[in-house]
């Protein structure tokens, strides 16, 4: 029993040390690849771009669409989590309450899918990146590793694919359409959205002004 406890303790210390080392490394170094990219049967197209070269419309669009409290929460939006749990208990389509910070932690260090074990690791890495990276770096990494289409990762590669131009010059509507597709990038059309998706993109585009006016992007 003592040997087992000693072994588990060493594993725990090793995991903590490795995770801290990776988080510290990626605070300064672009994330080269993620598990999601490696497991994508469609291959991967990506082009790491610094946040200063990504149009502010894109930053505000993902805040408007994904996480309006990004600048004020500590990595977890407890109200959104409780709301998602309440709705999921009622049945129907499963809803998530993940923040941009949680999604970034999952995308960079973990794998897709659910389960309490992965959620536990996600929470650990979320705390680390909030404390070590800060909001600006979290947003920069998120916009570079998020899947933006079939075999396409990051907003620069997405902008080139859909609009034939750099992410540095996206209009509010273009940014909003990319943000609207983020939850299901393989299924949602960015270039020619229809019906609900088109209306959702228009709504996000309108909210970009509110994000700017209310300073919801002030931490970036």
In the chain, where the domains are located: 17-213
* Those residues with Cβ within 8 angstroms of residue 203's Cβ, 6 or more apart along the chain or in another chain: 176
What is the Cα Rg of the chain in Å? 18
Cα 71 to Cα 73: distance, rounded to the nearest angstrom: 6
Which one is the CATH code of 17-213: 1.10.3810.10, 3.40.50.1000, 3.40.190.10, 1.20.1050.10? 1.10.3810.10
Per-residue pLDDT of the chain in tens (220 residues, 90 and over written 9): 888 999 999 999 999 999 999 999 999 999 999 999 999 999 999 999 999 999 999 999 999 999 999 999 999 998 877 776 676 666 555 455 799 999 999 999 998 877 889 999 999 999 999 999 999 999 999 999 999 999 999 999 999 999 999 999 999 999 999 999 999 999 999 988 999 999 999 999 999 999 999 999 999 9
Cα 87 to Cα 43: distance, rounded to the nearest angstrom: 35
pTM, rounded to two decimals: 0.92
What angle is formed at CA 120 by the lines to CA 96 and CA 13, rounded to 5 degrees? Answer: 155
Cα 80 to Cα 129: distance, rounded to the nearest angstrom: 20
Retrieve residue 158's tokens. 């997405």
Q: At what angle do helices 135-145 and 56-66 cross, to 10 degrees?
A: 90
Cα 63 to Cα 139: distance, rounded to the nearest angstrom: 10
CA-wise closest residue to 27 among 156, 151, 137:
137
């Amino acid at each position: 029993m003592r040997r087992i406890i000693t072994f588990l303790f060493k594993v725990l210390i090793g995991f903590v040390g490795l995770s801290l080392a990776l988080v510290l490394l990626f605070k300064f170094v672009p994330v080269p690849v993620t598990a999601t990219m490696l497991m994508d049967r469609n291959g991967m197209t990506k082009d790491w771009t610094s946040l200063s070269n990504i149009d502010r419309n894109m930053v505000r669009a993902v805040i408007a669409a994904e996480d309006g409290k990004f600048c004020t929460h500590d990595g977890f939006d407890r109200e959104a989590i409780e709301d998602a749990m309440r709705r999921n208990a009622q049945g129907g389509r499963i809803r998530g309450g993940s923040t941009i910070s949680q999604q970034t932690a999952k995308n960079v260090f973990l794998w897709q899918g659910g389960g309490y074990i992965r959620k536990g690791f996600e929470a650990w890495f979320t705390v680390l990146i909030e404390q070590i990276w800060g909001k600006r770096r979290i947003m920069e990494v998120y916009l570079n590793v998020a899947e933006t289409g079939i075999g396409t990762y990051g907003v620069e590669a997405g902008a080139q694919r859909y609009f034939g131009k750099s992410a540095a010059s996206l209009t509010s509507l273009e940014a909003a359409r990319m943000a609207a597709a983020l939850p299901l990038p393989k299924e949602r059309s960015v270039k020619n959205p229809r019906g609900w998706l088109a209306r959702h993109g228009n709504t996000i585009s309108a909210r970009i002004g509110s994000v700017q006016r209310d300073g919801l992007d002030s931490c970036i």
